[in-house]
């Protein structure tokens, strides 16, 4: 296996030298490789955001499919991320670790992020957030990215745009439209596990029309599609 820090170095160099007309951010999902000795080297590459784990326990925190909590190394790492204005992503954490990390960030007045998830109120899944967790993020003026992973959206064999809309409507009806974004996970899931008709970025033209047909106004749709994320990233000086 290639050294994760070498991979991060290469990706960071690539991002810094790409001219694509849009801002590209470096996110690290599952910082399992972090230890006390390599934190300085990692942070020298200036990642924009980091998720602590990926569903299971590691040396930092407990994942969604496990029962561990935030570790001393995890606490130290979060303090370093806060000092360097690096976003901590709450995605993939179990409930125990979620609140432990959220409390640390709250003490520093940091808006919270869960980059890709769905909602237990619509479909129960270990990776989905319950109402109290969403409320915690919204109270910080943070951001929740609604993912398009079929099994998070519905128990049906295949998801549809309407399943995505059910989660959107739940969030808006319960929490308003200022803290919801789209966290597709297009590069983390096979296309067959995504909603029919919503498997590529260009499909969002069709999804925009679908949401309009359901009665959402254009201002709310623009917030969800990009304005809320833009505002959140601006609060961290990422754009």
The model's pLDDT over 180-222, given as tens digits with 9 standing for 90+, comes to: 999 999 988 999 999 999 999 999 999 999 999 999 999 999 9
Q: Which domains does the chain have, with CATH numbers?
A: 1-106 (no CATH), 111-239 (3.20.20.140)
Alpha-helix runs per DSSP H in the chain = 4-16, 39-44, 72-83, 95-107, 131-139, 150-153, 161-175, 204-213, 218-222, 228-235
Q: How far apart are CA 170 and CA 227, in angstroms?
A: 19
- The 10s digit of each residue's pLDDT in 93-147 is 999 999 999 999 999 999 999 999 999 999 999 999 999 999 999 999 999 999 9
């Amino acid at each position: 296996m290639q050294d994760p820090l070498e991979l991060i170095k290469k990706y960071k160099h690539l991002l810094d030298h790409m001219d694509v007309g849009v801002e590209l951010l470096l996110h690290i999902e599952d910082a399992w490789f972090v230890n006390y000795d390599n934190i300085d080297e990692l942070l020298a590459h200036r990642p924009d955001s980091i998720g602590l784990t990926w569903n299971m326990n590691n040396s930092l925190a407990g994942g969604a499919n496990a029962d561990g909590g935030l570790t001393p190394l995890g606490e130290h790492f979060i303090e370093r991320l806060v000092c360097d204005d690096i976003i901590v992503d709450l995605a993939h954490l179990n409930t125990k670790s979620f609140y432990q990390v959220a409390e640390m960030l709250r003490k520093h007045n940091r808006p919270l992020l869960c980059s890709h998830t769905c909602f237990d109120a619509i479909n129960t899944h270990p990776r989905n957030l319950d109402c109290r967790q969403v409320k915690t993020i919204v109270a910080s003026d943070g951001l929740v990215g609604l993912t398009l992973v079929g099994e998070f959206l519905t128990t049906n064999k295949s998801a549809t745009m309407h399943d995505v809309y059910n989660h959107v409507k739940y969030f808006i009806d319960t929490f308003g439209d200022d803290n919801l974004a789209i966290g597709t996970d297009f590069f983390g899931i096979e296309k067959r596990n995504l909603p029919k008709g919503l498997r590529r970025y260009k499909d969002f033209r069709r999804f925009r029309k679908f949401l309009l047909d359901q009665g959402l106004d254009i201002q709310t749709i623009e917030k969800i599609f990009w304005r809320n994320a833009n505002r959140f990233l601006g609060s961290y000086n990422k754009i």
